[in-house]
Every structure is written in C-alpha cells, then in structure tokens.
Amino acid sequence: MKFELQYTDSKTNARAGLITTDHGQIETPIFMPVGTAGSVKAVHQTELLQDIKAQIILGNTYHLYLRPGLDVLEKAGGLHKFNSFDKPILTDSGGFQVFSLSGIRKLREEGAEFRSHIDGSKHVFTPEKVMDIERSIGADIMMAFDECPPGDSDYAYAKKSLGLTHRWLDRCIKRFNSTEPKYGYSQSLFPIVQGCVYPDLRRQSAEFVASKECDGNAIGGLAVGEPVEKMYEMVELVNEILPKDKPRYLMGVGTPVNILEGIERGVDMFDCVMPTRNGRNGMLFTKDGIINMRNKKWEKDFSPIEANGASYVDILYSKAYLRHLFHSKELLALQIASIHNLAFYLWLVGEARKHIIAGDFSTWKPMMVDRVSTRL
C-alpha cells in the first residue's frame, strides 16, 4: 500500500491524499460504508459502486469468522470474490465486538475468550489467530487486535488495558511479518492507538504505534461514551504524533459534524454504522440538515427527498412516499434511506476534499457544520 499526501490546508490540519492498494485507489478524506458481515445492509454492490461511489468498504473479523466462517471464505477465494466487491476492503479486528460482549467474554494475556452471540459456542481470539483470520478474509487493510476499554474507564484500568493492547500489537506484527497473503495481492496492517481520554496514555500509545512504521495508523476507543469535546482533544493530540506520511483512520466515527471536525484535525479515513442504522430508523442526513422521515409534516410533501441530492433515490422518490413506506414497514424504505445517507456521507467527504484542494476548507467547514446539524 502507498499513501501520497497531496494537499494540506494552510489554516487547519485538514489533508487530501491518495491511498493506492492492489484493489484500487482511495481519495482521502474518505468515508467507508460498514459491511459488517460482508454486506452493507440494504444496499447492492452496483449501488455502492455506481451511485454511492464507495471507494472502500469495511468488513468485521468477528462476524465473518463466526458466519460464514473461514472455510467458506477461503473456498470462495476471499471476501472480495465472495461478496463481489472488487475495490479495497478493510477489516476491523473484532476488538470492539469482543469489548461489546463484556458479559460473555474474559480477557487474559493470551487473548480474549468469548461466547458467540449466535449460538453461545466458546471461542478464543489471540493476536496471532486474528492475523490468520484476516489473512483468510483477504482484506487490503487489516487491523491489529486490541482491547477497546469503555469510555468511562478509570485511569488504572485504562493504563493496564493499554499495556495489553501494546503487547498484543507486537504479537500481531510478528505474526503479520511471518505470514503471507493467501490470494495473490498484498495486505497492510494498521495498529490502533488507545488510551481512553487520558492525554499521557494517548501520547504514549501514539508514540508506540508510530514507532512500528506500519503502512497506516488508526485511532480507536473514541465515540464509546466520552464527551465529544474529549474525542476531538484526543484526536488533535494523537495526530500531532502520528506520522504525516501515513493515513490516519478514526474508527467508528460518526455524525457528519464529527467527520468534518475529524477532517479539520488531520484524519483521513472514517467508518460508522450511523448512516445505514439511522437510515433504517427513518433519519436522513442532508446538505441542509437532519430529517425524521416518520414525522407527520412530510405526509403530503411531494417534493423530492433532497433536491440536488447525491443519489438517484433523492429525485426519484418524494418525502411523502418515503414516509408512507416507513409507516407501512416496507423494506424499500430501509433501502432508499440507506442509499441516500451513504451517498450523502461520500458526497460530504468528497466536498471536503475539493475545498482542501481549493484552499478554502477553513471557511467552508464551519458553514457546513451549521447546515448539517440543523433539524428540519
């Protein structure tokens, strides 16, 4: 994988770059639709590629390991062939999913023991096993296995957790370096910076991660319950340390405003389930603000979902029709809303890139923050 830093905003830390992988190029800043189990919910690959214009999607190691399982994925020739997505794919290591199973998992030095949310069967993830699983999935970008502590962790727990994450990272790198990709194309490993909301721990973690000189670096353990101001503070601190010539990935973030704030602070890559999950519940993000499609005010509004929207669905369907679909519990409602929201997110990062290149990001961004946070 190669990363070319093409432009940097003169008044902020916003950057525009180009990531090159064996499955294609990615223009940054970029948003990655989440395809947890190998599928971006309610969206076909043709819509992802041609309408939403996704340049990279995310899969999840934990979910893909449990179902369909490595045997199926390997026989298919990896996730790209299994789900017919021929552009880059990133796999989350499953650390966050194991964290979310707090009631049915045990952490120890060797790894994490957990029970499947599907059938209760017992499994163990070690750093070495996770690297092997991600090799079998075949993602272009693999994430290191880490512990994701709760946002309200006390200092003692956060420090202990960080030590474990760093030792696991060393084991991930050792395994990654001693194994080869399985499907004839290269894979990259991204370490994850942790440390909760404690500046000294975040600094220590960023320095440790930067010293590993991997192809890119991720910032994890944010947007897990801490105040948003703390999240921005930690991102700023970490990005002062992480190398400028490597892509920076802020994991699991977030709202359109979160993404704009992250870009301003030097983040290159984002992912979040919010556009699809909130979309399935009737929340649409638009250039002019947030719409709750279930509200009665849209019942007889026959105007397009979003005039000059980023997707074909915005002009093809009216607000009244989409509201009707939600109230009728029609599956098409989930599909339209997911496509709309993802297209908007990709439009937003694309516009940010244009304004970074044009040199007016610092004046465009606050205007967009005001617009996209308005409730319509």
Would you write out the chain's pLDDT as a tens digit for each of its 376 residues?
Answer: 999 999 999 999 999 999 999 999 999 999 999 999 999 999 999 999 999 999 999 999 999 999 999 999 999 999 999 999 999 999 999 877 877 776 777 889 999 998 888 999 999 999 999 999 999 999 999 999 999 888 889 999 999 999 999 999 999 999 999 999 999 999 999 999 999 999 999 999 999 999 999 999 999 999 888 899 999 999 999 999 999 999 999 999 999 999 999 999 999 999 999 999 999 999 999 999 999 999 999 999 999 999 999 999 999 999 999 999 999 999 999 999 999 999 999 999 999 999 999 999 999 999 999 999 999 9
Residues 263 and 301 reside in one and the same domain? no
108-129 per-residue burial string, b: 16 or more CB within 10 A, e: under 16: eeebbbbeeeeeeeebebbbbb
Residues 64 and 203 reside in one and the same domain? yes
Q: Comparing C-alpha atoms, which of 279, 251, 248, 207 is closest to residue 94? A: 251
Q: By three-state DSSP, how is residue 249 classified? A: strand
- Concerning whether 271 is annotated as a catalytic residue, the answer is yes
- Any idea what the CATH number is for the domain that residue 144 is in? 3.20.20.105
Residues 183 and 52 reside in one and the same domain? yes
The answer to the question of whether 3 is labelled as a binding residue is no
The answer to the question of whether 245 is labelled as a binding residue is no
Q: Where are the alpha helices (DSSP H) in 13-76?
A: 45-46, 61-66, 70-76
Residues 310 and 177 reside in one and the same domain? no
Residues 284 and 256 reside in one and the same domain? no
Distance CA 28, CA 372 (A): 20
Residues 170 and 189 reside in one and the same domain? yes
DSSP 145: P
Tokens of 323: 């509201």
The answer to the question of whether 314 is labelled as a binding residue is no
Distance CA 173, CA 258 (A): 30
Number of domains making up the chain: 2
Q: Among 248, 271, 294, identify where a domain stops.
A: 271
Return the pLDDT at 225.
83
Question: Out of 51, 140, 271, 314, which one is annotated catalytic?
Answer: 271
Cβ pair 153, 112 in contact under 8 A: no
- Concerning whether 314 is annotated as a catalytic residue, the answer is no
Amino acid 368 reads M
Range of the domain at 43: 2-271
* Cα–Cα distances in angstroms (integers) from residue 233 to residues 240, 253, 261, 368, in the given order: 11, 14, 11, 21
Residues 363 and 226 reside in one and the same domain? no
Return the pLDDT at 102.
67
Tokens of 95: 């650390």
Return the pLDDT at 101.
73
Residues 350 and 201 reside in one and the same domain? no
The answer to the question of whether 370 is labelled as a binding residue is no
Q: By three-state DSSP, how is residue 8 classified? A: strand
Q: Among 216, 237, 271, identify where a domain stops.
A: 271
Residues 227 and 109 reside in one and the same domain? yes
- Rounded to two decimals, what is the model's pTM? 0.97
Residues 56 and 112 reside in one and the same domain? yes
Residues 48 and 115 reside in one and the same domain? yes
Return the pLDDT at 296.
98
The answer to the question of whether 94 is labelled as a binding residue is yes
* Cα–Cα distances in angstroms (integers) from residue 96 to residues 63, 178, 251, 288, 325, in the given order: 11, 25, 10, 33, 34
Question: Given strand 24-28, what is the order of strands in its sheet?
Answer: 2-8, 15-21, 24-28
Residues 128 and 264 reside in one and the same domain? yes
Return the pLDDT at 99.
72
Q: Among 250, 271, 292, identify where a domain stops.
A: 271
Question: Out of 92, 140, 268, 314, which one is annotated catalytic?
Answer: 92
Distance CA 322, CA 367 (A): 28
